[in-house]
Amino acid sequence: MALGGKHALITGGGSGIGLAIARALAAEGAEVTITGRRAGILEEVAGGGLHPLTMDVTDERQVVEGVAAAVAARGPVQICIPNAGIAEGRALHKTDAAFWRHMMATNLDGAFYTVRECLTAMRKTDWGRVIAISSIAGLKGLKGASAYSASKHGMIGLIRALSEDYLGTPLTFNAICPGYVDTEIVSRNVTAISERAGVSTDEARAMMISANRHNRLIAPDEVAQAVLWLCGPGSGSVNGQAIEIAGGQF
């Protein structure tokens, strides 16, 4: 098992992309801490190498204490995946400070707290991977979603800077930038887009599918396979990169 003895921590690991990554890493022998706010969802999927930890990533204290508890239970986190996120489109002139702050607190502050706390022990080990789940909205502007785009660009900035800070060490820092992936976030956005654009939910879903030039939604496991590759032996020179998995959407 390629990742036997490794401890991975994935925020938002109880559903969607995070859960697919957790299962893929556990199948390679890793012990995986999965975090989220909904204890029930985490308990439901726990077992087989997946260990639940209830933690709100917007709350610095919860992240500090949560990561410390995971490290005490399973050793230094050597694979850190800041993945927890929210996605909602809103025109900037309709964006109030509370909406903006909530987006940043979840997607960007949450990644900051998580990576910082995991790095404390990871930097004393002989191997580490930080893989942020950003978005294609972190590489280009997503129409009607300025707060989301800004938060996802911020995650890539964090990763790129850390790859410079730790150059020459056995740690690497990369981001994965998916297009539309078939998860709850997309289902929620289908409803929001249909209401905003005055089209049916089927039409809204078709708009998202056709954004991908392969004319389909991406499977969560496709993102998980990229994470596995970044944790594998052949990718040690990949550092500070933002890897697009988007079916050529942009």
Binding positions for ligand NDP, rule: CB under 6 A: 11-12, 14-18, 36-38, 41, 56-58, 83-87, 106, 133, 135, 178, 180-181, 183-186
Cβ closer to ligand NDP: 140 or 170? 140
Give the C-alpha separation, 38 to 197, whole Å.
31
Asked about 148 being catalytic, the answer comes back as yes
CB of 85 to ligand NDP, least distance (A): 2
Specify the residue, 71 or 137, whose C-beta has the smaller distance to ligand NDP: 137
- Is the CB of 31 or the CB of 56 nearer to ligand NDP? 56
Q: Residue 4 CB, nearest distance to ligand NDP (Å)?
A: 26
CB 143 within 8 A of CB 126: no
Environment class of 7 (CB within 10 Å of its CB; exposed 0-12, middle 13-18, buried 19+): buried
Of the candidates 99, 171, 181, 167, the one whose C-alpha atom is nearest the C-alpha of residue 135 is 181
To ligand NDP, the closest distance from the beta carbon of 169 in angstroms equals 26
DSSP 109: I
Asked if residues 87 and 189 have their Cβ atoms less than 8 Å apart, the reply is yes
- Among the listed residues 113, 148, 166, 180, the single catalytic one is 148
Q: How far is CA 68 from the centre of its chain?
A: 20
Least Å distance, CB 233 to ligand NDP, is 26
One-letter amino acid identity for 120? T
* Tokens 């556990």, residue located: 26
Q: Which is nearer to ligand NDP, 86 or 238 (CB)?
A: 86
Query: Which residues are annotated as catalytic?
Result: 148
